[in-house]
Amino acid sequence: MSAKTAELVKSADFQFGDAKADALELDCGKKLYSVNLRYETYGKLLPDGSNAVLIVHALSGDAHVSGRHSPDDAKPGWWDAMVGPGKSIDTNKYFVVCSNVIGGCSGSTGPRSVNPKTGRLYNMDFPVITIADMVRAQKRLMDHLGIKKWLSIIGGSMGGMQALVWAIDYPDAMESVIPIASTARLSPQSIAFNWVGREAILADSHWQGGNYSEDAPQKGLSIARMLAHITYLSDESMRYKFGRELQDSDSYSFAFKRDFAVESYLEYQGRRFTERFDANSYLYITRAMDYFDISARAGGDLAAALKSVECPFLVVSFSSDWLFPAAQSVDLVKALLKNRCEVSYCEIESSYGHDAFLLEVDTLGKMLADFMDNRLEAIRGR
């Protein structure tokens, strides 16, 4: 990575909620004090603030969306292929902000943070959070940065959920919204997968009621990740990538150890996840996703729940995504159209499954770039 790109990556912490009046009020009825948000910015904010873009991450993401913090970093940010100088979300043109959600484990306040009231780690004393709580914290960051209006709020998967809450709760805070491979309400199937993943963590003897120290519940978290990772792929992509290939020998072991390449891959993914993610954070964030249902705000009427939306939408889904299938995006589009909102929709043909929002860089990237350029031109033409 060039020195120029490295200079564009700025990481910082935003702290608020030390005073009682400044605490973050949560949907569960509790308040969160001494809140920290870890965030990164890329590019330069124009004097009129018209080029500010908020990217909101998925379940296992964080604030580090692009670039490397140092030349020694093994990997760049999680959407580096899409965000950066000269890329689809061009940081020579846009001022990009991305923050780690509350409840996370990458710098923002979460269950492994210190509870200011006790001086000890929150662990399971951390209050249960919702997607809307995450957005409330991000709105505090927006005000802190002095941004009056986002050009666009972009998010894939859980990030798309946050983008929807932004559009409903703060309808005058953005010029456009781009939910990708997302949904307006988590399906029973997705809730079921989250439940089994959490049960794997809770059943790990090292979990210790959430009060683990260095001996973390890695096995339970690894199993939760393996289960979730299956839902991110598609049958076609797994068949193409692994087939029925054996991993370590030319014949079956006739034992219950790793035989197939796909088993080895999942084991690797689970192990890697435990090196960068926290088990308690996984519990809290997946529960926040479970509770996500925009339509519940209006008795199950999705269009009524979206009545406050004012800005144009670009909704994107992927043909092989069976975790958040295209039909769920179509439901969102229909509800927005019922309210006479300006909506563009595309279902991208892809074999990558849910992970396509991270991998279909060329097709998705051109779509995002064109949409954002048009929104920026429309603002300047007013």
Tell me which residues are annotated as active site.
157, 321, 354
Q: Which residues pair with 95 in a beta bridge?
A: 52
Read off the amino acid at residue 140: R
Residue 176 near residue 314 (C-beta atoms within 8 A): yes
Q: In Å, what is the CA distance from 332 to each residue of 124, 290, 306, 336, 367?
A: 34, 18, 9, 6, 19
User: Cα-Cα-Cα-Cα dihedral of 159, 161, 162, 166, to 10°?
Assistant: 140
Residue 314 near residue 342 (C-beta atoms within 8 A): no
**Tokens read off for 301:** 């009427």
378 by DSSP, 3-state: which? helix
Instruction: For residue 350, give every residue at least 6 positions away whose Cβ sits within 8 Å of its Cβ, in sequence order, or none.
Output: 318, 319, 320, 321, 356, 359, 360, 363
- DSSP secondary structure code for residue 103 in this structure: T
